[in-house]
Amino acid sequence: MGSVAACFNLNPAHKAHAQFRPQQIQINPGRTSSPDEPATFQADKVDYDDNEHTVTWSGNVQMWQGDHVMRADKVVYDRDTGVVAARGHVASIQPDGSVIYAHYAELTGAMRDGIMMHVNVVLPENGKLAANGMRRTGGKVNDMSRAVYTACAICEKDRSRAPFWQFRAFNATQDIEHETIDFRDSYLDILGIPVLYLPYFSITDPSAKRHSGFLMPGITPHDRYLGTYFTIPYYWVIDDQSDLTVQGLFSTRTNPQLSAKYRNRFNFGYLNLQGGIAYSSLRSDSYTNDFGNHVDGGNGHGMQGYIFANTQVSISKYWRAGANINLATSADYMRNYRIQGYGADTLSSNVYLEGFGTGSYSRVDGQYYQGLNQGVISNSDLPFVLPRYTYSFVGQPDALGGRFSLNTTDFNVIRSNGTSDMRGQMALNWDRPFRNRLGQQFLLTLHLDSMVYRARKLYQQPNYYTTTRSNTSGQVLPTIALKTNWPFVRTFEHGRGSQLIEPIVQAIYAPNTGAGANNFMPNEDSLAYEFTDSTLFSLNRYQGTDRLDGGLRGNVGVHANWTWDGHEVDLLAGESFQEHITHDRLPYSGLDHTASDIVMRGRVSPNQYFNFTARMRLDPYTTKVNFGDALFSAGVRHFRIRGGMSTNQSPPITTMSAIIARTLPCPFIPKKPTS
């Protein structure tokens, strides 16, 4: 083994590997070497040829110049011309750790000029760029012949197998200074089959974090409202923390739309702005809605636009503020131009201030709702919520082994057409878990709900009471509950799986509620009532706290689970028994009798390719299914089919849906914008 010093530069370019499996080479990032800095060589054998003025190193050749390294099986240095010729498993490493692997390399001019044969460049973001040959000029431009680019992972079992997608080009140019890769006379291959010819195509080098330029255009051959349309987006890097994307949409059925998205990240928060404008020539036909009312064709034509804004700033370590603003001219416009969130009848906006403490959370906000579809809901029917205050606190375990928590949600709701009301609400809770020697798990709960209201126009929506005067009302509801779980667990032979059988019993007592107890109290957050497996053991089955479950009741259920070799079956069945029946619930709620409907849930997941979940509520008196739904998901990692069905007796309706979800095994187009 020998070493020698010379005075030529080694300044290799980008990280790469050849078509053989590369050896892992790791170095620490360092400085750029100086042209005057000597190069050090190390090899198993060194030969000097005084006649040819060459030095030949062979066998595990390693060369250093500053923090640059080159490895090869054999290296010949011509002292007259300064040309370095490396052959066999060539690996050229630069200070940032990037590597070029090649079969043969001939470099000169301080490693800024030269040629390489059978090159495979490994880029950031899993990008790979291979070529039969590469010419390097000035250390800034790499011209490649018969180049191939992909961001897909190469199959380890069969490296000759074509990736899911790749670009093949007769010529490609990698501009290191401007961070671009240009392809000429190129094809897009899917699973090795050419599907698209591109005379010229350019992408941003994946090593670039961001780069201004045109993004990949999109085209939709047929759309119900737009016909054939295509989009052309342009990405502009404003500075290190902000950017702007401008997009034009061109359609065969209506006028173009111009939209933009601005993003800014700063030390204490962020700001996102998105908006668009168009002069729409599309008109909607008038129709009669489900209530028999005539609705005109809408206002989705003419000058239209939308603006979405989202911002958040940190005020201190414990406090931050933000806003979400969403406004649009019409639902038809959002639907016609396929704006994100189309199909909704309302848009919501809010401004908030929130704080975080040890076990606590506090938030004050204001909310605004815009009605987009005047045929369904009018702006005058929608509320302003100003302000709304939320506070939650969970304490540490106390001397008795229990844990105290507090929640409050207070608000002021204003409607120009409908009930306006103010609410003060507080819920106090204390939980004490314990267990016995038999393995039974107990949870004792003491709970207190309290509300006070001041309301006017209770005779209007959404309450429709008979009184025409303003009203002050309130309620206090103490609740005590004891829940018992008794799990029986068995492990299968050789630890291949486990079985769980878990009876569950719960007793709850609270004063009776409903009917007259709720007279003249507004209802903002408890308009829906759901009795399913998810609320079987809940203290309150309403979605909010304006309406509360009371009375003496007992809940029983059995939970079972089997898990083995990656398979799982999970079942739950239960029923509720109540001493007091509240008659002001919707029909078919499942709680119309002393014995409730039987709720059941089953989940089957035999493997990673399929899972199925079904729920139902069965009337024990008529054996009729009052509610049921089923969801399934099937497929492989990058292709799945999801579907479901739901049936309900009130209102009597059955719906079915399915969706095909496809994700590419690698990014089809690099995430960086093209130039």
- What is the spatial distance between Cα 254 and Cα 222, in angstroms, rounded to a whole number? 13
Say whether 336 sits in a helix, a strand or coil: helix
Residues 6 or more apart in contact with residue 357 via CB below 8 angstroms:
318
Question: Is pLDDT larger for residue 160 or for residue 403?
Answer: 403
Which range of 70-79, 317-326, 590-599 scores highest in mean pLDDT? It is 317-326
Q: What is the pLDDT, as a whole number, of residue 381? A: 87
Q: What is the pLDDT of residue 392?
A: 98
Residue 4 predicted with pLDDT over 50: no
Q: How confident is the model at residue 388 (pLDDT cuts 50, 70, 90)?
A: very high
pLDDT at 651: 67
Place of tokens 């000097």: 48
What is the model's pLDDT at position 36?
Answer: 57
Average pLDDT value for residue range 316-339: 93
Q: Model confidence over 600-617: pLDDT tens digits?
A: 999 999 998 999 999 999
How far is 7 from 34, CA to CA, in rounded Å?
10
CA 241 vs. chain centroid, Å, equals: 22
Query: Residue 12, exposed/middle/buried by CB under 10 A (0-12, 13-18, 19+)?
Result: buried
How does pLDDT run across 488-530, given as a tens digit for each residue? 999 987 778 999 999 999 999 999 886 666 778 899 998 888 8
Structure tokens at 427: 């819920």
Candidates 478, 467, 370, 366; CA nearest to 430 is: 478
Decide which of 622 and 28 is more confident. 622
151-165, 239-253, 466-480, 579-593: which is most confident:
239-253
The reported pLDDT for the residue numbered 67 is 65
The average pLDDT across 524-548 equals: 90
pLDDT of residue 281 exceeding 90:
no
Among 76, 111, 89, 109, which Cα is nearest to 16's? Answer: 89
Q: Distance (Å, rounded) from C-alpha 270 to C-alpha 292?
A: 47
Output the pLDDT for position 665: 52
Cβ neighbors of 269 (< 8 A, separation 6 or more) are 311, 312, 313, 314, 320, 322
Averaged pLDDT score across all residues of the chain: 85
- Check: CB of residue 251 under 8 Å from CB of residue 232: no
d(CA 346, CA 440): 49
Q: Rounded to 5 degrees, what are φ and ψ at 340? A: -50, 130
Share of the chain above pLDDT 90, in %: 51
Tens digit of each residue's pLDDT (9 = 90 or more) over 147-206: 999 888 877 777 778 888 889 999 999 988 888 899 999 998 888 899 889 899 888 887
> So what's the pLDDT on residue 96?
56
Among residues 161, 164, 162, 160, which one has the least CA distance to residue 152? 164
Rounded distance between C-alpha atoms, residue 334 and residue 99, angstroms: 49
More confident residue, 68 or 447: 447
* Res 292 pLDDT > 70: no
Has residue 18 got a pLDDT over 70?
Answer: no
CATH number of this structure's domain 5-210:
2.60.450.10
| Least confident span in 30-34, 70-74, 228-232, 367-371 | 30-34
Asked whether 445 and 425 are in contact (CB, 8 A), the reply is no
**Least-confidence region, from 248-252, 469-473, 627-631:** 469-473
DSSP state, residue 334: H
pLDDT at 375: 65
Residue 221 has pLDDT above 90, yes or no: no
pLDDT for residue 673? 45
> What is the DSSP annotation of 459-501?
TSTTT--S--S-EEEEEEEEEEEEEEE--EEEEPGGGSEEEEE
pLDDT at 670 over 70: no
Q: Is the pTM of this model over 0.85?
A: no
Better-scored residue on pLDDT, 522 or 666: 522
Residue 580 has pLDDT above 90, yes or no: no
| pLDDT at site 112 | 78
pLDDT on residue 432: 98
Parse the chain into domains and list their residue ranges. Answer: 5-210, 211-382, 405-675
For residue 307, what are the CA distances in angstroms to 130, 238, 272, 341, 639?
44, 21, 11, 12, 34
